[in-house]
Structure 1
Amino acid sequence: MWLVVIDAQTLESRSASRPESHSPNSSAPTVRRWRPGSCVWCGDDNSVEMFRNEPRCERCRENEGIIDDAKRFLGMYGLRPLGGTLQSDDDEEREYRVTAREARRVLNEIRMDVLPDAAAVRKAIRPRAATVVADTSPARASRPSSTGTATRVAAPVKTDTVDINTLQTRVLGLLDQLGSIDEQIKVAELAQGLPARARLSDLNKQKATVLRTLAALEKARIAASN
């Protein structure tokens, strides 16, 4: 009787210590791949719409829009392009840079492991484009024919116009910053030693940056007034 119990316990302990077998594919990571109807960047199928001639989900469109707004703002005022640094001339510029960097981080995190081939995407959305053309063709056919008089096409409205009030606010803020830098330069010029010279060099660089930005803003103001 005891022998049977001991053998059963021995077998149970051996079976418990034996590692479980896994199928060859059980530990393989799942690779996210694009499928028609989903976002070409992250593979999500939530609120997918055409964005830059390709299907993109709502989250990707929102983050791409944030980056576009930052680029438009920096370009409008002749500021340093987006990059790894957040160095800014005022709080507004820094906010654009911080939000753009966060949007880029989100996009990098949700990016699919394998992005789809552009030709495959175009082929998948081609039937949809054909349907749109078919739906609009009756309206195009009913358009009255030309009588020989050329129709003037309205010029596209320029959307990247400079807001004069915003520009003036930035100029005033930069002038205040310039005055503060000049005061710090006066103090640094009276100090001695390597730290003082390094501080003075940094302040002069800041002053040069502010002056360049003010010049760019003045060009934007002149262009907007013309």
Structure 2
Amino acid sequence: MTERPRTAETPARQNVTFPSAGGTAHGYLALPPSGSGPGVLVIQEWWGLTDHIADVVDRLAAAGFVALAPDLYGGSVAHDSKEAGRMMQALPVAHGVELLSGAVEYLLSRPEVTSDTVGAVGFCMGGGFVLYLAAVDPRVSAAVPFYGVIQGELPDFSGLRARVLGHYGEQDGSVPPEKVDALRETIREQTGTAPDLRRYPAGHAFFNDRRPTYSPDAADRAWRSTVDFLHEQLG
């Protein structure tokens, strides 16, 4: 996996701080043109809080949401895939979920947020964290993993309250079709409701326009359905 190289002049994107996991967390927040709207978390890929993730936040804000990307790496951004892999492995899933739950609390506490629950949209590692978070935090009512990578065993979805819309590439070696099928069946068995997991003729990271696997058509279709889904669930 490769993304445009980062330099000392292009650090992680941050413009807010908030209490989380017993400390101070950072993130990138954007407000809609109206100044208020439903809350949505954007959860980073394994690279960190990059320009691409900040762009997703801005696009959601333009679509009417108060969007927040919490920085799970505390300001660090990976320069290559080896470093990204090390950084992802150094973030325990339980701690990542704790940080994200603090971000949910912060988002819902902001006066600009009009919803009682939040949506969560994530990519690659962040797509996996969307599922981990939604499985334990009922304040997440709309979960949208893009090619979500689950680290280890699937979580227990018996407490899942969110509706799930997932986007996956048919040529994605990181999340092959059989894993998507297993995810769908596990959620269906444990919740009684089947998630809407969609497949596209694309590879991994097809939404990231800084990646060679970027697929404009698949990205556009997934984005439009995501925005509609979030509005349906959150208002």
TM-score, normalising length from structure 1? 0.23
Larger strand share, 1 or 2: 2
TM-score, normalising length from structure 2? 0.23
Greater CA radius of gyration, 1 or 2? 1
Larger helix share, 1 or 2: 1
